[in-house]
Structure 1
Amino acid sequence: MAAELAATLPGAALTCVSAGYALAAAWLSRRAPAASGGMATAPVSVLKPLCGAEPRLYENLATLCRQRHPSFQLVFGVRAADDPAIAVVERLRRDFPACDIALVVDPQVHGTNLKVSNLINLFAQARHDVLVIADSDIAVPPDYLARVTAPLADRGVGVVTCLYRGHPTGGLWSRIGAQFINDWFAPSVRIAHAGGSQRFAFGATIALRRDALAAIGGFAALSDRLADDYWLGELTRQHGLRTVLSDVVVTTDVTEDRFSDLWRHELRWLRTIRSLNPPGFAFTFITFTWPMLALGALLAPLPPVFAVAAIGVMARSLLAGSVAAALRAPLRDALLLAGWAFALAGKRVQWREQVLSVRDPHTRPVLNPEQPSSTGIHPPRPL
């Protein structure tokens, strides 16, 4: 009897850990986040590197033009004079004549990260000391600039960053991709943040002061780094500045309408995560609720284990937020497990026309032992 009970312990432990994680994720995802501080009025320069005519580009950029903020500048940058994004910027200028909009067209390349190269080129046009960097596919609320820049009034704050929710623009695979963000990524950040971690920064939004950027060596310090958003936060933390997770949640479009596109995108995310925190990534499998609960119940076919598994399933369904999303959750978690397994190996990721190495020495973080570590499961925003 004792031997039989001992044999069931791994399955029982796996079930309990996975169900506990699902419960914590569901609970934290439904808590109202604490406000990160007031409404700021200091002038802001928003830096937006662009590349191509992405779906809904005009609609997303227009949300910045509708900000309820007394003084802000929008600086857009492209590398090629024939980039279709230029026409979108010109349309914004016509539709929002009161907005201060600058456009930088500069083919000069600085380092291997083309997004950072673009930022270096357009930074020269930024006139204000408060800077906001955000990816091109982000839609924001009208009080976005006032809220995300408010914590920077504290000189001990280096970076303010935002969580984001996925907005599917297509069919099944687009919706599965949105669940990657909404049901896995965002809850993992909230759990790590609740545990005291600050080791994150997301391309969805990074707000910082000009002096903090200068202290780390400017954007040039990121020019050869793969996860530039993560490193912008990490380098400021190494200078003793705090990272604040804003209560603002922005929206990002999920446009993949084919499995192959979604797989390539998520594999890039997962391999990048592995490069930043290999030990944490190795234990990420416990967050894939459905496969882990099934495996745990199979290894420990006992009534208490099935009860715990049922709790985990209910928590996972609650996290999904709708009946349709709950029905897709087993497929979503199975794909996460498969992607995790593939991401354990492989040295390269593909971004647009570039193939980049995840083994670049710049991708190894210098850990501050006095800072709590994150779980290591947060995907950086796509470059």
Structure 2
Amino acid sequence: MTDPLTSTEGNGQQTSTLKLVLAIACLVWYGVLWFLGLLGCFNARKRYRLRPRSPLASAPASSVPGVSIIRPLKGLDVNLYENLESTFCQEYAKYEIFLCVGDDQDQALPIVRELIAKHPAVNAHIIIGEENVGVNPKVNNLTRAYREAAYDILWVIDSNISVDPGTLARSVDALGPPPTASPSGRRRIALVHHVPFAFMTEPSLGARIEEAFLNTNHAKMYLAINAVAVDSCVVGKSNLYRRSDLERVDGSLKPHTVNVAGSPSERGLAAFGRFLAEDNMIASALWHELDLRHDVSCDVARNAVGNMSFSDYIWRRVRWIRVRKHMVLVATLMEPLTESVLVGILTSIALKYLVGLPPWIFLPLHFSAWLFVDLDVYTSLAGHPLPSGRVWWSFVVAWMLRECLTLPIWLVAIWGNTIVWRGREYVILRNGEVQKSGHNGGHPGWLQWKFWRKRDTVNDGYEPLEL
């Protein structure tokens, strides 16, 4: 017979061993997160605190490659006049602009015409009307300009983004020479993207939280992942790539050496109309199908955030977590373990178990250090520290709210497959493909009371996927 005392002691040893392994694993993971956080902070300092002027900014038109700038428009977006004018003022000798609206009644048209009249030397075109190539309205809006563009290099910029005058020249520098002139043996840069830097145009709670999120944790991890460069990680607010490369991919994410039965035959921009996050899928296709790489420019995409309510912010985050769940499932499931609150609590428990350090000592140090690094990232992107006084405190309070909201938002998002985007409900399919549900959207299920009923219409523009 088995001795009960011996069996109990054996179970106790196994439990102690398991606790020890989990505690050590927690500390190792905590170290990995700090490595990524410091890597993002270091890259922000290195990349954004010095932005040299590109030689292409003063070069004649005959010696620089032409660029077609495409801006999808719908309605009076936040800060629209200033956003659009920033592309008319680029220090670059050879570019054209396409300003695309869905119909001739669009409210953006008077602003577009005023800017064209104000800058007659700029080669600007108005595109009225869309081509229905898929469920993604942004792709439908872009398609005509994509086909009519005179140049191979395309720069697609969302309507709520403004850029510095030297951005185009520095981005073309980063993109490098055309495929025929690229050095052999090196993976050519196929796409140049810009980190979003949010700024509020109206003081609202959701806008403050969005600003705190994009300018700290999001930018930090975005830069760190792109520095490690193990896979594609791109936000599509401002992207530069070649049409000739896009014409070679179809969104299957399979290398061209692999013959995929049943893969889409259509290539180019139209092939991505079936995805909601077309920008991320284009970047992934260039990476996986052509084995090409991306680069982050030393410029930011200045993202105007308007009157975003608290619920708008929450449902925006829910929307994109659900999209990412069908594109990068493992990373989405791991997401709560990369955030300061949950990882801080778990690490405090591990340290208490291993060395007896009380959580009330560790947690204040943990959150203070996390905030310090995030504010340093903000300083690098903005070019100046966060102003002291009331502005500093309101930003930090928004930062704390964002950190505390991450787990509840994730829990809501992970259990659904429908999203509301621009007033319409979509069902998310595998790999980020979507289909319309057939009726106008409303936030479903047990959260559908008055506080949550406000739909995602704060910005009726074209919103890209944010990683």
Compute the TM-score of the two structures, normalised by the length of structure 2: 0.72
| Count of equivalent residues | 368
Q: Give 2:248's aligned residue.
A: 215
Deviations 1:23-63 (A, max 9, x none): 64255324312889955432111011111111211111111
Q: SS state of the match for residue 303, structure 1?
A: coil
| Distance in structure 2 (CA, Å) of the matches to 1:67 and 1:265 | 31
Cα separation, partners in 2 of 1:66 and 1:161, compared to 1, 3 Å: same
* 1:150 equivalent among 173, 178, 183: 173
Q: Which runs of 5+ in 1 are unaligned?
A: 365-378
Q: Is the 8 A contact 1:20 1:312 kept in 2?
A: no
Identity %: 22
Cα separation, partners in 2 of 1:234 and 1:37, compared to 1, 3 Å: farther
Q: Give 2:465's aligned residue.
A: 381
* 1:265 equivalent among 294, 298, 316: 316
| Distance in structure 2 (CA, Å) of the matches to 1:13 and 1:197 | 22
Range with bigger deviation, 320-329 or 180-189: 320-329
Q: Which runs of 5+ in 2 are unaligned?
A: 1-11, 57-63, 180-187, 250-266, 376-385, 387-391, 435-462
Range with bigger deviation, 304-313 or 4-13: 4-13
Q: Give 1:373's aligned residue.
A: none
Cα separation, partners in 2 of 1:198 and 1:279, compared to 1, 3 Å: closer
Q: Is the 8 A contact 2:174 2:295 kept in 1?
A: yes
Determine whether 1:141 maps to 2:164.
yes
* 2:192 equivalent among 140, 160, 167: 160
Determine whether 1:179 maps to 2:249.
no
Q: Is the 8 A contact 1:93 1:101 kept in 2?
A: yes
Q: Give 1:25's aligned residue.
A: 37
Compute the TM-score of the two structures, normalised by the length of structure 1: 0.86
Determine whether 1:128 maps to 2:155.
no
Deviations 1:270-315 (A, max 9, x none): 1122221001111111222034313543575431766654443122
Q: Is the 8 A contact 1:177 1:256 kept in 2?
A: no
Q: CA deviation at 1:220?
A: 0.9
Q: Whose relative contact order is higher, 1 or 2, with alpha carbons under 8 Å and at least 6 apart?
A: 1
Cα separation, partners in 2 of 1:312 and 1:191, compared to 1, 3 Å: farther
2:232 partner amino acid: R
Q: Is the 8 A contact 1:36 1:151 kept in 2?
A: no
Q: SS state of the match for residue 248, structure 1?
A: strand
Cα separation, partners in 2 of 1:23 and 1:153, compared to 1, 3 Å: closer
Q: Is the 8 A contact 2:152 2:243 kept in 1?
A: yes
| Distance in structure 1 (CA, Å) of the matches to 2:328 and 2:53 | 30
Determine whether 1:195 maps to 2:279.
no
| Distance in structure 2 (CA, Å) of the matches to 1:4 and 1:330 | 35
Q: Is the 8 A contact 2:318 2:413 kept in 1?
A: yes
Q: Is the 8 A contact 2:418 2:428 kept in 1?
A: yes
Cα separation, partners in 2 of 1:95 and 1:18, compared to 1, 3 Å: farther
Q: Is the 8 A contact 1:52 1:85 kept in 2?
A: yes
Q: Is the 8 A contact 2:72 2:100 kept in 1?
A: yes
Deviations 1:209-250 (A, max 9, x none): 221122122111111112100111111121122222222222
* 1:253 equivalent among 304, 310, 313: 304
| Distance in structure 1 (CA, Å) of the matches to 2:409 and 2:283 | 26
Range with bigger deviation, 123-132 or 68-77: 123-132
Q: SS state of the match for residue 366, structure 2?
A: helix
Q: Is the 8 A contact 2:100 2:127 kept in 1?
A: yes
Q: Give 2:416's aligned residue.
A: 346
Cα separation, partners in 2 of 1:340 and 1:222, compared to 1, 3 Å: same
Q: Give 2:371's aligned residue.
A: 317
Q: Give 1:96's aligned residue.
A: 119
Q: SS state of the match for residue 149, structure 1?
A: helix
